[in-house]
Structure 1
Amino acid sequence: MNALFRSCLVACTALVLVAGAARAEPEPAALVDQQHCMFCHTRDAPFLAPSFQQIAERYRNVPNAQFMLEHKLRLGGKAHWGDMAMPLPGDRGGPLSAEDAHTLVQWVLSQ
């Protein structure tokens, strides 16, 4: 392998790694499906509830937002966007562990 090719390969690999790091977290598809998130939310447009991007824009830099959103996912909660409240876990797909709630909220806030 000549030096020019090796240098190009290293540079391209670095670009791919940097581009991948700049993207949003991969969707935790199993959790999104289990909790029926897409019944009310979409990634980028309001539907029955705010989009994941709207939630991220609103809460990304709010202190303690991660904790508040995890709590709301695990227990349901009052409406902060219009009249629709977050459904109770039993109405969404069942209980959600603290770890799974953390994973979902991290993903939403990365949008």
Structure 2
Amino acid sequence: MALPAAAQSREPTALVDQQHCMFCHTSDAPFLAPSFRQIAERYRGKPEAAAMLEQKLRVGGRAHWGDIAMPLPAERGGPLTADDAHVLVQWVLSQ
């Protein structure tokens, strides 16, 4: 179930563009990777999820949704600070 529009965070467009998120993800339909909405639905309400997702953004990680793993930062836009990873994850989880 999606949150009301007012409860959703504003897209951090510069970070989304820098990290090339839309090369693999879309807002609401699976593409090469799960949609942001699917990620939010799977992990919403799980206390450990945000930290795990932030770590995955910062260093890459194994595939949880099929055969494609999260690319390393160097393959998708460069290093990501802990603060920037937090911003992206909070936005995704608000979908």
**The 10-residue stretch of structure 1 (22-31 or 97-106) with the greater mean CA deviation from structure 2:** 22-31
Structure 1 residue runs without a partner (length 5+)? 1-18
Q: Match of 1:97?
A: 81
- RCO higher in 1 or 2 (8 Å CA, sep ≥ 6)? 2
Q: What is the TM-score with the length of structure 1 in the denominator?
A: 0.80
Q: CA RMSD in A?
A: 1.2
Which protein has the bigger helix share? 1
Q: Match of 2:59?
A: 75
Question: Of 30, 53, 62, which residue of structure 2 is paired with 1:46?
Answer: 30
Deviation at residue 61 of structure 1 after TM alignment: 1.1
Deviations 1:44-77 (A, max 9, x none): 0000000000000000111210000000000000
Distance of 2:38 and 2:83 partners within structure 1 = 23
Distance of 1:79 and 1:62 partners within structure 2 = 19
Runs of 4+ in structure 1 off by over 6 angstroms are none
- Say how many residue pairs are matched: 92
Structure 2 residue runs without a partner (length 5+)? none
Q: Which has the larger radius of gyration?
A: 1
Q: What is the TM-score with the length of structure 2 in the denominator?
A: 0.93
